[in-house]
Structure formats: structure tokens, C-alpha cells
Structure 1
Amino acid sequence: MNLESLLEKKTGFTTFKTGQKEIMEDVIAKKDVIALLPTGGGKSICYQIPGYVMEGTVLIVSPLLSLMEDQVQQFKANGEKSVVAINSFLSFSERERLLQLDLSTYKYIFLSPEMLQVEKWVRKLQNIKVALFVIDEAHCVSQWGHDFRTDYLKLGAVKDSLGHPPCLALTATATTTVINDIQEYLNIQSPAFHVFSLDRPNIAMKVEMFRSNREKNERLLELVNSLRSPGIVFFSSRSKVEEISEYLQENGVERVAYYHAGLSQEQRILIQQQYIHDQLDVICCTSAFGMGINKSNINYCIHYHQPTQLESYVQEIGRAGRGGDASIAILLKSKEDNTLPGFILDMELPDFEWVSTVTNDILETYGTIQHISIIPVKEWMEKFPEQESHWRFLVFHLEKYIESNGSLDQNKKSNFLRMIDEQIKNRTAYKMGKLAYMNDWTEVVTCRREMMLAYFGETLQRAPSNCCDVCGLDLNEFTHYTHADEKKGETETWGKLLKNIFWQEE
């Protein structure tokens, strides 16, 4: 069966999007592949279809629990039942039950990078034939791995322990530095590269400046009431997510909800499903929402807070216009929030004083440390109640130092602390450089799209008619409903959804 026939049989699509077929052909040929497709480019199909051709199980490393659940539901809606997500959404008894099963009965297994550091799961996976090792949203290896999710940097070793299966690294945004990190930390020697433009000509871009958050709130209310729904409003603060969601509701905006990682898993799943099925018009959320969400009719993305880097901004606005319709991304920037991005970056890494204090206490308690397992990390986290991400950072660098130097003791302490201080300073400077570019982008007096593409090493070939506010755009084109828009926005009934799941015609 050729790939086109398989695509139609398994997904209902009759043609491939740009780059999909070429990526699949290299994957099926058992090549390591690094692929950059724009958001909405159909990355999941690049491993779903090869899974039907290749012998064995496809392992997919996915960064967010909500994304994993959404991907599993997409597979099941397309008729694929041999799929499972192994993550903390499962109860202890459910995870133990899975450990007793033959995992080779699943064609697709989704896991978090942290789950792949649990020895019993790695041993379980070593008993099955892994046909393909997929890293979804692979830019996280670089953007998150160095700072607060260091388990990403260990995925190359995990892959090798599973018998060196072919690797597919997928992302929608990556600079040359990020691509190099992906290749290095996944132990990919000679990959096939499939890098396509991340430009989304159907997304217009606009930045609006304000003196105060009061002005910004009023403008947000005006935009939400006038722009075609559905839409997303992104925030950098959980408390602000809830506050502005309440503000919109109090001022007459209906069908609005908020979403962030502090909600229970049941709440998150419910809200995500309500939004996907057009039962909500507006989501106020942190970046935890929407990565990989399969919703084609999002018409706008508004950023209430400025992201800390252009990669994040491009990722997030990419939720809009996935069906190809004209959509708009608007960043609202007030002077009151000018210091927030820098504060967020400061919080992502531990300060040197904290690292020094914890290291001193650990050495006084255990003396010479030859393996990190001697330290009951959970107990020490309770003793020094800092963010969990700071502990991950410290433990990762302790492991690296001990691996290179054989042990850590009082005599080697100063060398270790000097090394980790240098690491913190270098990473902070690197991220502050990205923030500076993001700040410059918000204030640019030339084409925003051109500057955005230049950051990723691309050249703008032709500006769309509604390009950006600097080039000129007509906001009215994003505020007027047509009869077709209203028809398209009708809420799907559960009867229709069930018919789609079971491939029944109307």
C-alpha cells in the first residue's frame, strides 16, 4: 500500500501537507530525522503513518500532559485504539496494571521525559521492539532542558539503551543553536534534515503599547468583543489568568474560561475538550494550554504579557489559523509589565547563594558523594522548599560533575560551585539576549515578519497583504462575521462527534 492510500485510510486526508511525505520516507528508511514544520503543518502524521509500515512500537516523548492527552484522543478519534499515554494522569493502580501488560500490544506509546528516567519503565520498554523514537516539540530539549527540565538532556542515553532505534525530532520553531542542541543531546550523528519555513502568511501581527494595565484591560475587552471567535489570550501569570477571565465575564463576555497548570487534571481536560468542540469562545491561559492542540478555527491569539523570547511567541501565535483562514496575533504591552519578563527569567534558575547553601549542607551530611542516589532528594526538597525545577537543575549538575570527577567532597566543592556559578551566569546572559531581541521586535519600525524570520535564519520572500501593523493591516478583516463563519462556528453535537469517532456518515 502506498503512503497516499494509507494516509486516506487511517486519517481521511487525501493529500500530504508540505514536507510530510519526504519526512515519512526517510523515517521508514530508518534514518534519523530532524524536521522543522510550522505550527499546523501536521507533525503527528509524520510518525503516525510510518508506525503502520514499521515493525514494532512507536515511542513518542511529549512535553505536556495536556498535549499527550489531546494527541491520544486525536488518534482514537481517527480509529486508532492501540495507543496509550503513560504519565501522572494515570492512577498508581493503572500504572501498575500497565507494568504487568505486554506493552508491545500498543502501536503508539506517549511518555514524558521524566517517566523515561524511571528505571522500571525503561526496563519494561527494553523488552519490546521500538520501531521509532519520537521527540515531539523537540525545541524543548534546548529551551527547557538546560534550565528546568533537565531530563530532556538525558533522552539520548535512554534512546541508546532501547537499542538505538531510528529517531524523529519534530519542532515548529528552532534556531541553528537549538537544532545543534537537539542533535547533540539526542545522540544523532548524521540526521536527514527537513527544515521548512516557519512563516505563516495567514497570521497578521500587531503590537499595541499602553501606559497602564487599566488601559490594557479595556483594550482587551474591546478586542474580545469585536474579533471573530474563538480566540486565546496568553498570560505569564496564573493569578492574572484568573483575574482577567473574571474581568471579562463581569463585563459581559460569555463562553470564557481559564486554564493553567494549577488546575486539577479533570478541570484541564474538560476545559480543553469544551474549547476544541466550540463550547467555549475564549480561553485565558498560560503557555501550558494549546501546544499541539488540534483546533483549526482559532481566529486570534492575544498576548496580555510579552513572552521572554521570540521562539515562544511564534509557537504560541501558531495556534491561530491552523485551517488556513486569515487570523491575527496581537501583543498588548504596558509600561507596568516591563520588568515581568526579566523577573520570570530570574526565577527559572536558582541563585548561586541557594546552590552554595544546599551543597554545603549535603556535603556536611554525607561527606564524599560518589553517586547521586545517596541523597534522598525528596526529603531535601522539603528541607529547602524551593521550586522543584531548581532541584532538578542542581541534581543534574551534581550528576555531571560526579561522572566527570569520580566524586564530590569538601576539597572539590569550590571547583563544583565555580562550575555551576559559571553555568548560571552563561544561561542567564543567553536568555537575556533573547529577551533583548524580543523587546527590539516589539518596538521595530520596519516589517515585523521580516525581523521575525531573520531571527530564525530566513528571508521574507513576499509580504502578505495583511502582514503586520508596521506594514499596514486592516483590523476590520478580522472582526466581521460572514454567514459561512457563523455556520462553521456552530457547536458540534456529541452525536456528530461519536459518528466521527466511529467513521459513520451523516
Structure 2
Amino acid sequence: MELESILEKHFGYYSFKTGQKEVISSILAGNHTLAMLPTGTGKSLCYQLPGLILKGKILIISPLLSLMQDQVEQFKRFGEKRVIALNSFLSSEERNNVLTSLSSYKFIFISPEMLRIPFIMGRLQGLDISLFVVDEAHCISQWGYDFRPDYSKLGDIRQKLGDPLTLALTATATSRVREDIIASLRIEKINKIESTIDRPNIAMYVENLSDYHDKKDRVIELVTSLQKPGIIYFTSKKAAEQIASLLVDKGVCRAMPYHGGVDQNSRILIQQQFIYGQLDVICATSAFGMGVNKENIRFIIHYHMPMQMESYLQEIGRAGRDGLPSIAVLLHSPGDEQLPIHLAEGELPSEQQIDWLFNRLSDEQRSMDVGGQLPNQFKEFGGFSEVQWRIIEDFVYSPHRHSSRLEELQAAFKKFINERFIVKKKNIFQMKKWVEATSCRRELILRYFDEASSGKVPFCCDQCGLQLNDYQTGQLAPMPKANEELWKDYLAKILINRELSK
């Protein structure tokens, strides 16, 4: 089977990107596969292409609604209509229609939360699933930077679906997290394909400012001068909205904020406007970016310091997917680590909340078994967020917990939460150490992921003499030895899309 000919015929590309062919070949050989490929190298192709060959359904577990929506749109642009996303965007009537005709779809995207619904699981169990795909697989690991309790249930889900062939995909996972992914999915034998996390065409630049308030003026200057489009990342919804308004009011560019507080329809609209060039800049929280397929993003600016190296790498990986030079600028001022520490504390239930919850549980619930349920009204009364409550439920009803006595459970949960916070705090200070480093930033990132440096790149980082002037509008220099295949692929895609739209 000539994979390149299938690639050209169905996707319009002449050659595979880093790691794609190895992953696809592994899947088609019937091997469970864990693939760690750099952000921007087209991980979705690793299940799109095998899906054209395998006879059964392709079930893709995806963590974000925006990510699912973008992937569905990608499929349709390539002419694949047998694709659906089972998520909260569907009305009750639409969901019922989809579930009634579920067997007519080839590619089924679903959130891990949807898999908790017995009726939906029953419908999936009636399908022939040829490939079980876990996208953003680092969400499985409690030691990963974006742990989601519902992802930790995917090992059980796999077993209920008959242990189908599995592909776990991630761009940023340490060796510890990768091993945790394999164990959680309950896969004994797996083929690991691990490519470099380095993206040589993305230069890194840290700019130190004397005061946090200086950031507002500086970000306006940067967006004015840098070649666009771009993304500015914030950890504050309010700051994202303020800077977006400022950019528009000053006539700098077409900008919009994007965060978890924006309603779903508006988020889809903003994402599509950005992808199709109707917006120049997105002012976003981490809610935006995963899987967004826009090849020509020229800059990423971090207004606030990220909480860990993995999320920083994930977010700057939005840039330069066309292989051309791009810049990642992080604005830093003294005390920047305080905001991520505050956010890390807020992601986990506090000791006071834990004490309140366990004190409210009645004597009748002191021997809670796995089949029971925590009183749901306690979630609201205790002021628990959705994520905090899921962490609590996941811990309390874990089949691996060693005690059903309430006092022991309370002590064990406090210990677990404390360990999680220590890890989060350690990650924040590792990020701070990287920001304040005086040696090559790229080499430090590679070392963090246990990779050896492959040598200096021409446009590396501020510690290696990088100048921001090279990335101003009209000044962007071509990368040395640019890959001409990129332009052939780009042209081919345009022609294919035109044919599909006729």
C-alpha cells in the first residue's frame, strides 16, 4: 500500500510531516500506538488517513468543544461528510437524530463527559470501532499539566468497547506522563513514537519590564510592529477583553477576545473569523488554541506567565505551521508568578472546602461504597467549581482507593490535593526559572523534555542574539533552506478545496 499516493489523492499533500508516516504505519499494522509529535505537525492526519482504510468506525475522544468543531470543519473541507461531533453544541433533537443514525458516520468525535451517559455508551457499544483515538492524551495523567478527571476513566471505557485498537496523541508530555498515559489506558504492549518537541522556525524572546502596568503599552507597540496574524495569551478574562478593545479602539488591528466566558456560538464565530483572515489578532485564554488549524500565525505573545513549560510549548506551537519564521514573545515583570500560583490554588478544592464537605456528610454515608453518590447539592453549597467537584467524585469513587471510612478518605484526599498543589507550584517556579535564565532558551526546553540539542538554529532566542526587528511587518526574512514542498502542498490544498466546493 503506497501511503503517499493516498495522502496526495485525499488530502492534497505530497509528503508526510515529522512522525506522521511512522504513526500511520504502526496503526495499520495493528499496533496500539502512543505518539508524541510536535504541535503543528498535523497529528489529526494520523487517524484521518487510517480511517479511510480501516473498515469500522473511528472514535475520537477530544477535550475541547472548539477543538472538536475545528476538526469536523477540517474533515468537511477535505470532502469527508461522514463526520459528527457529539457534544453540547447539539440540541436535544439534533442529538437524538444523530444517535438514531450513528452507524452512518465514519468519524465520531466525542467528549469524555458524553461517555458518562449510559445511553450514549450503549449506542457506541453497538458499533464496530476500528480505532479508539485519545487526542491530547496528556489530559489522562494526574501529573500532566491539563489533567481532566473524566480522561482518567478512558481505560474503563476502552474495556467496555471491547479493547479496540488505540492511538494516544500528545504534543507535550514528559516521560513520566507518557508512562502514566499507557498505564491509565490499560495497554500492556504499545508502540511508542516520540519525535522532537522542537520547532526551529519559532524564535523565543523574553522581554523584561520594570512594572506590570508597562505591559499594556508594550503589547500595543508589539502588535503594531509585528507581522500578523497573531495570538495574545492571558490568564485573565478581563485583561483579554481590555487589550482586545484597546487594539480596536486605537485602530491597530481587527481583534476579539476569546475565553470560557464567551458563549459557544460566539466562540465558533470568532474562531472561524480568525481562521479565514477576518480577524488579525485573538486575545485569548488557554480556552483557545488546541487543534486550531491556521497555518500562517506569525506571532504569539504571552501577556501573563504560563503555569508550566508544557502549556507554554503548546501555545507557542500555534505559530508557524507553514514552516515560515514566527516569533513567541513573553512579557515578564517582577512578581508575575503570583497570578499562576493563585490560579493553581483555585483549580483545587481548599482545605476548608474539604473539611466542610466531609463534615456535612451524614452518619448514614460514613460507609460510602463505589456505587453510591455524593449529594449533588453540596457542590453548590460548598462553592465547588465543576472541575473541583469532578476531582472529588473521581477520588471518592475510584476503584483503587483503599478505604471506605470517611475519616481515612478525608485524610487521603487532603494528601492527594496537597501533592497536586506542590507539583503545580513546582511547575510554576520551573517556568519562572526559564524566564529568568541567561542561557539558550531552546536548549533548556529540550532538556526539560529529556531531549538532546541538535545544534544551534539560525533564529533561536533572545539569549542567542535574536532581534525583534527581524519580525516586524515587511522585515520577515525567509528561513534558511525553506522547504518548497510547503508551497506545493498549500497550492494543492487550494485546488482541492475549489474542486470540493463546486
Corresponding residue for 1:429?
Answer: 422
SS at match of 1:179: helix
Corresponding residue for 1:97?
Answer: 97
Kindly indicate whether the alpha-carbon contact (under 8 Å) linking 1:145 and 1:151 is maintained by their aligned counterparts in 2.
Answer: no
The runs of 5 or more residues in structure 2 that have no matched partner are 479-492
Corresponding residue for 2:484?
Answer: none
Amino acid at match of 1:385: G
Amino acid at match of 2:285: T
Q: Matched residues in 1 for 2:286 and 2:398: separation?
A: 30
Question: Given the superposition, is the C-alpha separation of residues 117 and 162 from structure 1 closer, same or farther in structure 2, using an over 3 Å criterion?
Answer: same
Kindly indicate whether the alpha-carbon contact (under 8 Å) linking 1:372 and 1:398 is maintained by their aligned counterparts in 2.
Answer: no
Corresponding residue for 1:119?
Answer: 118
Kindly indicate whether the alpha-carbon contact (under 8 Å) linking 1:363 and 1:369 is maintained by their aligned counterparts in 2.
Answer: no
Deviation at 1:42, TM superposition (A): 1.0
Deviation at 1:352, TM superposition (A): 2.0
Question: Given the superposition, is the C-alpha separation of residues 461 and 499 from structure 1 closer, same or farther in structure 2, using an over 3 Å criterion?
Answer: closer
Question: Given the superposition, is the C-alpha separation of residues 217 and 482 from structure 1 closer, same or farther in structure 2, using an over 3 Å criterion?
Answer: closer
The runs of 5 or more residues in structure 1 that have no matched partner are 486-495
Q: Matched residues in 2 for 1:291 and 1:368: separation?
A: 41
Within a 5 Å distance, the mapping from 1:63-462 to structure 2 comes to 63-101=63-101, 103-142=102-141, 149-335=148-334, 337-364=336-363, 366-377=365-376, 379-400=377-398, 404-405=402-403, 408=404, 412-462=405-455
Question: Given the superposition, is the C-alpha separation of residues 98 and 233 from structure 1 closer, same or farther in structure 2, using an over 3 Å criterion?
Answer: same
Deviation at 1:363, TM superposition (A): 3.1
SS at match of 2:462: coil
Question: Given the superposition, is the C-alpha separation of residues 382 and 497 from structure 1 closer, same or farther in structure 2, using an over 3 Å criterion?
Answer: farther
How does the TM-score come out when normalised to structure 2? 0.93
Deviation at 1:372, TM superposition (A): 4.7
Kindly indicate whether the alpha-carbon contact (under 8 Å) linking 1:207 and 1:332 is maintained by their aligned counterparts in 2.
Answer: yes
SS at match of 1:236: coil
1:258-305, CA deviations, whole angstroms, 9 ceiling, x for partnerless residues? 111111111001000000001111110001111111111000000000
Kindly indicate whether the alpha-carbon contact (under 8 Å) linking 2:77 and 2:497 is maintained by their aligned counterparts in 1.
Answer: yes
Corresponding residue for 2:49?
Answer: 49
Amino acid at match of 1:149: R
RMSD in angstroms over aligned alpha carbons?
2.2
Question: Given the superposition, is the C-alpha separation of residues 472 and 128 from structure 1 closer, same or farther in structure 2, using an over 3 Å criterion?
Answer: same
Question: Given the superposition, is the C-alpha separation of residues 472 and 147 from structure 1 closer, same or farther in structure 2, using an over 3 Å criterion?
Answer: closer
Q: Matched residues in 1 for 2:400 and 2:438: separation?
A: 50
Corresponding residue for 1:473?
Answer: 466
1:39-69, CA deviations, whole angstroms, 9 ceiling, x for partnerless residues? 1111001001101111100000111000000
SS at match of 1:193: strand
Q: Matched residues in 1 for 2:281 and 2:100: separation?
A: 42
Question: Given the superposition, is the C-alpha separation of residues 483 and 476 from structure 1 closer, same or farther in structure 2, using an over 3 Å criterion?
Answer: closer
SS at match of 2:193: strand
Question: Given the superposition, is the C-alpha separation of residues 200 and 147 from structure 1 closer, same or farther in structure 2, using an over 3 Å criterion?
Answer: closer
Kindly indicate whether the alpha-carbon contact (under 8 Å) linking 1:148 and 1:389 is maintained by their aligned counterparts in 2.
Answer: no
Q: More deviation in 3-12 or 299-308?
A: 3-12
SS at match of 1:213: coil
Amino acid at match of 2:181: I
Corresponding residue for 1:500?
Answer: 497
How does the TM-score come out when normalised to structure 1? 0.92
Deviation at 1:341, TM superposition (A): 1.1
Deviation at 1:390, TM superposition (A): 1.0
Deviation at 1:117, TM superposition (A): 1.4
Q: Matched residues in 1 for 2:17 and 2:303: separation?
A: 32
Q: Matched residues in 2 for 1:222 and 1:54: separation?
A: 51
Amino acid at match of 1:88: S
Aligned length: 488
Matched, 1:34 2:38: no
Amino acid at match of 1:393: I
Corresponding residue for 2:489?
Answer: none
Corresponding residue for 1:6?
Answer: 6
Amino acid at match of 2:224: N
